[in-house]
Structure 1
Amino acid sequence: MLHSKGPLVSIDVGTRETKRTDVTDVLESYIGGRGVATKLAHDRIPFDVDPLGPENRVLFTTGPMQASNMSFTGRMNCTAVSPLTDGLLSSNAGGFMSRHFADTGNAAVEFVGESDELVVVHVRDDGVRFEEVPNLSGATVPETVEYLDSEHDIGSDQTAIVGPAGENEVRFASVMTSEERAFGRGGLGAVLGSKNVKAVTFEGDSAPEIEIPAGQMEIHREAATDDNIMKEQGTVAVMDLANEVDGLPSYYFSEQTFAGVEGINGDAVAEKKYKKGTCSACAFACKLPTRDEERGVETEGPEFEVAMAFGSNSGVDDIVDVMKSNQLCDEYGLDAISAGNTVAAYLAAEDEFGNRELIWDLVEKIAHREGVGDTLAEGIDRVHDELGVENWTVKGMDFAAHEGRVLHGQGLSYAVANRGADHMYATFYSVEYPLVPQDQAVDPEGAVGKAGILAEREDLMALNDSGVVCKFSRDYMTPERYEMLFGADFEELLDVGARTVTLERHFNNKRGFDRDDDRLPYDLPEFEAALEEYYETRGWTEEGVVPDGRVPV
């Protein structure tokens, strides 16, 4: 089975010690990316760890497909215990850093401990160097990029950066790479910030030799030549459909359609797109560099989730206003979905929907933990009572845009996902809208009878995150192509994903998570029966706990 190669490099930022460990057995069993990071984290992070304490570990990993020239492979993984959800969480980012990471010759790099001084950690193929950077305290992501470029000739594509939000331990702070791409959901930027790590750079010329089958180029050619609306509008292309089926969260989830949708939909974004945007080696080019010269706004996106959070959910119907919010989140290092939803909660509490100046002021205050921003920086789950609003979260994570009250399988997915209310954990919405061929579509009504499909989709997404293969490759990656690329039966590959999901669940069980955490803030038909069906499919107990005999090795 195709897998990553290289050692695990452990970096204690407190003692400045570095250790290399042979993890070939883990690589052979878990491929790379999220699978490898989950196994290492499960075995190396104490179950009772404080997410913002020195014993938490941040693991960066990528997959064997970094050795390819294939589209959909310019992504990598970051894993730690989340300060937002309090569970083990992996986040996935695109851009260009993954190939630079592979060039260091390492399969995994982890950070532990806590530095006395703010540092940049330079990870190279010939070793690790620590640079104290008190001058970067409070620096934005672009300011940090400018410093690394001017002082070290290190480009943004080689960097993982923490903005002010991460330094201030905002629970939904991102780790930023390529300046505008984010390891977003779950607050992993706060974990690096708690270690006093401002940035990590990757550089080298020692990528391991991994042979990728020639069939990769057929997939690459199809990605380059296919006519797909995402190449023009990104994920926001689905917004009109979501609105038509009463599935667009609006006004802090109190409504499910938005009258101003035309001001923030795919056409609105396409009008502001000024060039193509992509990730490393990818010819699909679905990214959205956007600009409004009149108002001096330039960003990448917004994608659908952000257009929902800072748009319909905040009562904003101007795409340039949403672009400005997105730009601020990237500069400060905030997950734009959680930032937007948390701001929307405050707008609901104060009856201030649509107040764009207040929105931008709140984003800045959150990043710096100033005034009310210090409260909002804790996230909706911890502050909803104080605000007097409903708690629109699962396991502490606020909801993505795909509406589980309409797409019931997606609703079930939100409830059981180890990561919380995140749409990418299973991407079940894609089969319920549907965004797939009709023979793969699933009736959006009802949650019962969908457990088997849901578990398989979770396993497949975990496999993609281990490969690493972008989830938007869904129209191109057939079971036969997975087998061709990875050199194993498709069921064997799905088992890698299943073991990854199970290890995440087991770690979280050890932290006290069980059936009581697999809950939604709204009712779904026969939800309890669907939940039991899912646990039975997974081989877990009726309380959502992994039995000792089913913990993967």
Structure 2
Amino acid sequence: MLHAKGPLLSVDVGSRETNAVTVTDVLESYIGGRGVATKLAHDRIPYDADPFGPENRLVFTTGPMQASNMSFTGRMNATAVSPLTDGLLSSNAGGFMSRHFADTGYSAVEFTGASDELLVVHVTDDGVDFEAVPHLEGATVPDTVEYLETEHDIGPDRTAVVGPAGENEVRFASIMTSEERAFGRGGLGAVLGSKNVKAVTFGGDSAPDIDVPAGQMDIHREAATDDHIMKEQGTVAVMDLANEVNGLPSYYFSEQTFEGVEGINGDAVASKKYKKGTCSACAFACKLPTRDEERGVETEGPEFEVAMAFGSNSGVDDIVDVMKSNQLCDEYGLDAISAGNVVASYLAAEDEFGNRELIWDLVEKIAHREGVGDTLAEGIDRTHEELGVENWTVKGMDFAAHEGRVLHGQGLSYAVANRGADHMYATFYSVEYPLVPQEQAVDPEGTVGKADVLIERENLMALNDSGVVCKFSRDYMTPERYEMLFGADFEELLAVGARTVTLERHFNNQRGFDRSDDRLPYELPDFEAALDEYYDARGWTDDGVVPEGHVPA
């Protein structure tokens, strides 16, 4: 089975000590990326670790496909105990850093401990350098990137940066790479910030020799030549469809259609796109560099989830307003989905939907934990009672845009996902809209009978995150192509994903998670029976707990 190569580098930022250890057995069993990071985190982080404590470990990993020249491979993974969900969580970012990470020669780099001064940590194949940067305290992501480029000739493609939000331990702070790409969901930026690390840089000339089959180029050519709507509109291309099927969360989830959808939909975003945007080695180029010269707004995006959170869910029908919200989140280092949703919760409490000036003020206050921003920085799950609004979260994570009240399998997926109400954990929405060929489609009505499909999709997404292969490759990656690229039977590859999901669940079980956490703020038909089916198919107990005899090695 094709897998990443190289040792694990452990970096204690408190003692300034580093140690490299061989992890070949883990790589052979878990491929790379999320799988390897999950196994390492599961075995090396105490079950009772405080997400903000020095015992929490933040693990960066990439996979064997970063040795290829194939589209959909410009991504990498980060894993830690999440300050937002309090469970083990992996986040995935695109951009250009993954291959620079591979050039260090390490398969995984973990950060532990906590520094007594603000640091930039430079990781190369020649060693690790700890640079004290007190002058960068409170600096935005662009200002930090500019410093690294000016003083060290290190471009944004080699950097992982936290903004003020990460330093201030906002529970949904992002780690930003390539300046505008994010390890977004779950607050891993706050984990790095709690260690007093402002940025990490990667580089070298020691990428391991991994022989990726030549068939990779067939996929690359198809991605380059296909006339796909995502190349013009990104993920926001689905917004009109979501609105048509009564599935576009609006006004803090109180409504499911938005009368101002034309102002924030795919056409609106495309009208502001001024060039192509992509990730490393990818010819699909689905990113959205956008700007409005009249108002001086320039950003990348927004994607569908952000256009929902800062658009329809906040009562905003102007794409440039949403673009500015997105830009501010990137500058301050905030997950734009969670930031938009928690802002929407405040707008609901204050009856201020559509107030763009208030929205931008709240984003800044959240990043700096000033005034009401200090409350909102805790996330919806911890603040909804104080605000007097409903708790639109699962396991502490607020909802993505794909509406589980309409797409019932997606709703079930939100409930059981180890990282909460995130759409990318299984991408079940894609088979329910559907966005796949009709023979792969699933009736969006009902929950019973969907467990097997849901599990296969969870396993497949975990495989992609271990590869690492972008999930938007779904139109190009067949079981036969997975087998060709990774040199293993498709079912064997899905088993890697299954072990990864199970390890996440087991770790979270040790932290107290069980069936009572697999809950939704709305009712779905036969939901309890569907949970039973899912647990039974996974081999877990009726309480959603992994039996000790089922914990993967």
Q: Deviations over 1:181-219 (max 9, x none)?
A: 000000000000000000000010000000010000000
Residue matched to 1:454: 454
Report the secondary structure of 1:116's partner residue. coil
Which whole-Å CA distance do the structure 1 matches of 2:167 and 2:544 have between them?
A: 35
Residue matched to 2:46: 46
C-alpha displacement of 1:260? 0.1
1:269 and 2:265 are equivalent in the alignment: no
Residue matched to 2:228: 228
1:93 and 2:93 are equivalent in the alignment: yes
1:5 and 2:29 are equivalent in the alignment: no
Residue matched to 1:430: 430
C-alpha displacement of 1:6? 0.2
Alignment of 1:117-516 (within 5 A): 117-516=117-516
Which whole-Å CA distance do the structure 2 matches of 1:496 and 1:540 have between them?
A: 17
Q: Deviations over 1:237-277 (max 9, x none)?
A: 00000000000000000000000000000000000000000
Report the secondary structure of 1:52's partner residue. coil
C-alpha displacement of 1:123? 0.1
One-letter code of the match for 1:67? Answer: A
Q: Deviations over 1:449-489 (max 9, x none)?
A: 00000000000000000000000000000000000000000
Which whole-Å CA distance do the structure 1 matches of 2:382 and 2:211 have between them?
A: 48
C-alpha displacement of 1:295? 0.1
Which whole-Å CA distance do the structure 1 matches of 2:68 and 2:11 have between them?
A: 28
C-alpha displacement of 1:110? 0.2
Q: Deviations over 1:124-153 (max 9, x none)?
A: 011000000000000000000000000000
C-alpha displacement of 1:307? 0.0
Q: Deviations over 1:61-112 (max 9, x none)?
A: 0000010000000000000000000000000000000000000000000000
C-alpha displacement of 1:284? 0.2
One-letter code of the match for 1:312? Answer: S
One-letter code of the match for 2:283? Answer: A
Which whole-Å CA distance do the structure 2 matches of 1:14 and 1:209 have between them?
A: 33
One-letter code of the match for 1:432? Answer: E
Q: Deviations over 1:12-45 (max 9, x none)?
A: 0000000000000000000000000000000000
Which whole-Å CA distance do the structure 2 matches of 1:424 and 1:248 have between them?
A: 17
One-letter code of the match for 2:72? Answer: F
Which whole-Å CA distance do the structure 1 matches of 2:447 and 2:246 have between them?
A: 18
Report the secondary structure of 2:43's partner residue. helix
One-letter code of the match for 1:129? Answer: D
Residue matched to 1:59: 59
C-alpha displacement of 1:309? 0.0
C-alpha displacement of 1:305? 0.0
RMSD: 0.2
Which whole-Å CA distance do the structure 2 matches of 1:66 and 1:417 have between them?
A: 27
C-alpha displacement of 1:437? 0.2
Q: TM-score, normalised by structure 2?
A: 1.00
Report the secondary structure of 1:475's partner residue. coil
C-alpha displacement of 1:381? 0.1
C-alpha displacement of 1:5? 0.2
One-letter code of the match for 1:224? Answer: A
C-alpha displacement of 1:349? 0.0
Which whole-Å CA distance do the structure 2 matches of 1:88 and 1:317 have between them?
A: 36
One-letter code of the match for 2:286? Answer: C
C-alpha displacement of 1:436? 0.1
C-alpha displacement of 1:543? 0.1
Report the secondary structure of 1:79's partner residue. strand
Q: Which runs of 5+ in 1 are unaligned?
A: none
C-alpha displacement of 1:179? 0.2
Which whole-Å CA distance do the structure 1 matches of 2:67 and 2:411 have between them?
A: 36
Which whole-Å CA distance do the structure 1 matches of 2:311 and 2:488 have between them?
A: 44
Which whole-Å CA distance do the structure 2 matches of 1:323 and 1:497 have between them?
A: 35
Report the secondary structure of 1:242's partner residue. helix
Which whole-Å CA distance do the structure 2 matches of 1:523 and 1:302 have between them?
A: 30
Which whole-Å CA distance do the structure 2 matches of 1:418 and 1:360 have between them?
A: 31
One-letter code of the match for 2:48? Answer: D
One-letter code of the match for 1:310? Answer: F
Which whole-Å CA distance do the structure 2 matches of 1:352 and 1:487 have between them?
A: 55
Alignment of 1:8-47 (within 5 A): 8-47=8-47
C-alpha displacement of 1:229? 0.1
Q: Deviations over 1:425-449 (max 9, x none)?
A: 0000000000000000000000000
Residue matched to 1:525: 525
Which whole-Å CA distance do the structure 1 matches of 2:191 and 2:496 have between them?
A: 27
One-letter code of the match for 1:309? Answer: A
Which whole-Å CA distance do the structure 2 matches of 1:68 and 1:191 have between them?
A: 31
Q: Deviations over 1:350-379 (max 9, x none)?
A: 000000000000000000000000000000
One-letter code of the match for 1:276? Answer: K
C-alpha displacement of 1:167? 0.0
Which whole-Å CA distance do the structure 2 matches of 1:162 and 1:347 have between them?
A: 27
Q: TM-score, normalised by structure 1?
A: 1.00
Identity percentage of aligned residues? 89
Which whole-Å CA distance do the structure 1 matches of 2:180 and 2:330 have between them?
A: 6
Which whole-Å CA distance do the structure 2 matches of 1:430 and 1:137 have between them?
A: 42
Which whole-Å CA distance do the structure 2 matches of 1:273 and 1:183 have between them?
A: 23
Q: Deviations over 1:273-295 (max 9, x none)?
A: 00000000000000000000000
Q: Which runs of 5+ in 2 are unaligned?
A: none
Which whole-Å CA distance do the structure 2 matches of 1:291 and 1:326 have between them?
A: 12
Q: Deviations over 1:375-423 (max 9, x none)?
A: 0000000000000000000000000000000000000000000000000
Which whole-Å CA distance do the structure 2 matches of 1:231 and 1:162 have between them?
A: 29
Which whole-Å CA distance do the structure 2 matches of 1:45 and 1:56 have between them?
A: 6
Which whole-Å CA distance do the structure 2 matches of 1:286 and 1:399 have between them?
A: 23
Which whole-Å CA distance do the structure 2 matches of 1:212 and 1:34 have between them?
A: 19
One-letter code of the match for 1:216? Answer: Q
Report the secondary structure of 2:165's partner residue. helix
Report the secondary structure of 2:271's partner residue. helix
Q: For this pair of structures, how many residues does the alignment match?
A: 553
C-alpha displacement of 1:47? 0.1
Report the secondary structure of 1:272's partner residue. coil
Which whole-Å CA distance do the structure 2 matches of 1:551 and 1:459 have between them?
A: 16
